[in-house]
Structure formats: C-alpha cells, structure tokens
C-alpha cells in the first residue's frame, strides 16, 4: 500500500508544477492508495522566497497568500470527494517555523479549517531559508558562526522549539539542514553538540507520539546525497526509542510522485525498520468517513506491492 504524506502542486505553490488534480490523478495511476495534500501555510511578506517577490502581486502579498490557501482547501475537499472511490486523499498542510508569529498563523488556520494531519517542518534558520539555494544557506551559516556545526545546532534548536509548541503528528524532513552543507552524507555524529540535539529532539517526538517522515526528496534534490531524510544513523536511534516512521515523496510535480521509493526502502532495510506507519481515514459501520487513524504495514509487504512494478 504505497502512500505519501507530503506533497505540493504548482496550482498553490510557486516553486512547484502541475495542478492539484493532476497530482491526484498521477498518484492513482501509480497505484498509490493514500495521498496527503500538504501545501505550505501562508507567510508574511518579510518571509517571501526570492521567487515570490514581484511575482503575481495579486497572489503573492500577505492577503493573497491567505486567499490562495482558502482556494487550496476548497479544491482539496472537492478532489477528496471526487476521487474517494479510487484513492484515500488526506487534507493537511506543511508548517513554516520562522519567527514567533508563526505559531499564531498555524493556530489560526487550524481553527479555521478541518485537517486530517499536518507536517511539522522548518525551512529556515534565524529566519533565513536554508534549502532554497547555496547563497542563502551560506548567509544563514554566517549568522551561526560560519560553520556547518554551528548552523546544524541552531537548526535542531529551532526544530525543538517547533516540536514543543506544535507536537506535529508527522515531522517533516527531520535533517533537511544537510542539503546545502559541505558534506551532506557525512554522519552527524561527528558533531557532539549536534548529535546531542538530535537525540533530544527524537526523544521529544517519541514522547508525544509523533511519527518521523522518511522523505525521498533528498535523493533527487541533494548533490551526491545517497540517503533520504533522515539519515540511517538517525533512524536507528529513533527505532531504539520505539519510534515509528512513515513514507513521503515530498512531490512538487507529477514526476516526483513515488520517485526514489526504492532508495528509501534500501535505507529502511539498512536501518532495520520492520514496519511503516500510514495515516488513513477511518470509516464507521455505514462506511462514512470518521476521522484519521494510523495503521502499519510490514516492510516485506510494502516491498512486494504492485506500485514498485510501475514506478522506478
């Protein structure tokens, strides 16, 4: 039962491609049975990405981004109902954790809409994007003492703050900070302070019952990156704590859906993870949707699913 809990569309995300409906249709064609829609939450103008500044002013101002999010939620509900006989669509969002005001924005949209789940992620350090390009990563690194060790420590400290305040059901790309670093595949154990923070954050996730996302996008985005987010070393520690994992492609276009899942499964097996958790909508005795629940699938069964005959 392949699934993804993390996706974006060009219809509602400026750095993605393809319509939300085309993303859903592609997930169906690739034999997915659970596909979560998780567009980014709105941000303030001071936190716009470079690609958004000056682009489509009617959309990319603060009011416009909230309007885009309204339209996203309405379209997600329409698609969920239209395709419910073919795929289990979950409606959610991906958080931004940038500055203190981020909390009130997230609380506001959670009050306004019903979501099945959400992805707790951070893409900034000291308010500077760290996964957009190397120039911005280097700017953020300079603010943290000019070393990868320093920016890694700051990243996991800001992530810990997010975990404490949001307790997201799924933690997105746990070690995204590796992406633009000097040695993205090197074990983070080499930095004692970084590793201590990683263990602390994993304990926090396990403590409130969160699930760690195995994110395949590292294998397509990172230069010479051979491991998904998070690294196998991190997965082993979380597994020892009794932690649970789920699977996502972090797709930003149709071609990304299910991409590199073979590589993720290889990492899963090397980490010794026996099963993968997944979210789905529960049904009562009459077949009506009643909330979101989680189930598990043995890795052996997942490996043999027909999905892997249509996606490489």
Q: Could you tell me if 224 and 183 are in contact, meaning their C-beta atoms sit under 8 angstroms apart?
A: no
Q: What is the pTM of this model?
A: 0.93
Which structural domain, as residue segments, surrounds residue 84? 3-310
Task: Give, as one character, the DSSP assignment of residue 251.
Answer: B
* CB burial of residue 125 (10 Å; 0-12, 13-18, 19+): buried
> How confident is the prediction along the chain (312 residues), in pLDDT tens digits per residue?
589 999 999 888 877 888 999 999 999 999 999 999 999 998 887 888 776 665 555 555 667 778 888 999 999 999 999 999 999 999 999 999 999 989 999 999 999 999 999 999 999 999 999 999 999 999 999 999 999 999 999 999 999 999 999 999 999 999 999 999 999 999 999 999 999 999 999 999 999 999 999 999 999 876 678 999 999 999 999 999 999 999 999 999 988 998 899 899 999 999 999 999 999 987 654 444 557 889 999 998 888 877 777 665
The Cα–Cα gap between 156 and 222 comes to: 19
Q: Could you tell me if 190 and 145 are in contact, meaning their C-beta atoms sit under 8 angstroms apart?
A: no
Pairing of strands 211-215, 170-171: parallel
Alpha helices in the chain (DSSP H): 20-29, 62-82, 101-112, 134-142, 148-166, 192-208, 218-221, 232-240, 261-271, 299-303, 307-310
Output the domain CATH number for residue 244: 3.20.20.140
Q: What domain count does the chain have?
A: 1
């Amino acid at each position: 039962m392949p699934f993804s809990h993390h996706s974006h569309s060009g219809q509602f995300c400026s750095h993605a491609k393809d319509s939300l409906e085309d993303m859903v249709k592609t997930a169906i064609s690739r034999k997915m049975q659970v596909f979560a829609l998780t567009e980014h939450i709105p941000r303030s103008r001071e936190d716009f990405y470079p690609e958004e500044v000056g682009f489509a002013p009617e959309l990319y101002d603060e009011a416009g981004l909230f309007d885009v999010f309204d339209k996203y939620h309405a379209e997600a509900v329409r698609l969920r109902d239209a395709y419910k006989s073919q795929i289990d669509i979950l409606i959610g969002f991906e958080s931004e954790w940038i500055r203190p005001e981020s909390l009130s924005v997230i609380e506001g949209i959670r009050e306004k809409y019903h979501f099945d789940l959400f992805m707790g992620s951070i893409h900034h350090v000291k308010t500077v994007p760290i996964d957009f390009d190397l120039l911005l990563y280097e700017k953020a690194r300079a603010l943290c003492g000019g070393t990868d060790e320093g920016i890694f420590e700051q990243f996991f400290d800001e992530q810990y703050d997010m975990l404490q305040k949001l307790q997201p059901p799924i933690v997105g790309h746990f070690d995204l900070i590796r992406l633009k670093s000097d040695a993205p595949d090197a074990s983070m154990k080499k930095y004692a302070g970084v590793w201590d923070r990683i263990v602390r954050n994993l304990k926090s996730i396990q403590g409130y019952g969160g699930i760690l996302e195995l994110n395949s996008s590292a294998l397509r985005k990172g230069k010479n990156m051979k491991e998904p987010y998070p690294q196998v070393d991190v997965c082993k520690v979380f597994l020892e704590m009794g932690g649970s994992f789920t699977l996502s492609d972090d797709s930003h276009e149709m071609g990304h859906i299910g991409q590199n899942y073979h590589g993720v499964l290889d990492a899963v097996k090397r980490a010794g993870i026996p099963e993968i958790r997944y979210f789905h909508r529960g049904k009562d005795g009459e077949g009506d949707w009643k909330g979101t629940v989680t189930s598990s699938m043995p890795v052996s069964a997942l490996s043999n699913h027909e999905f892997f005959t249509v996606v490489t």
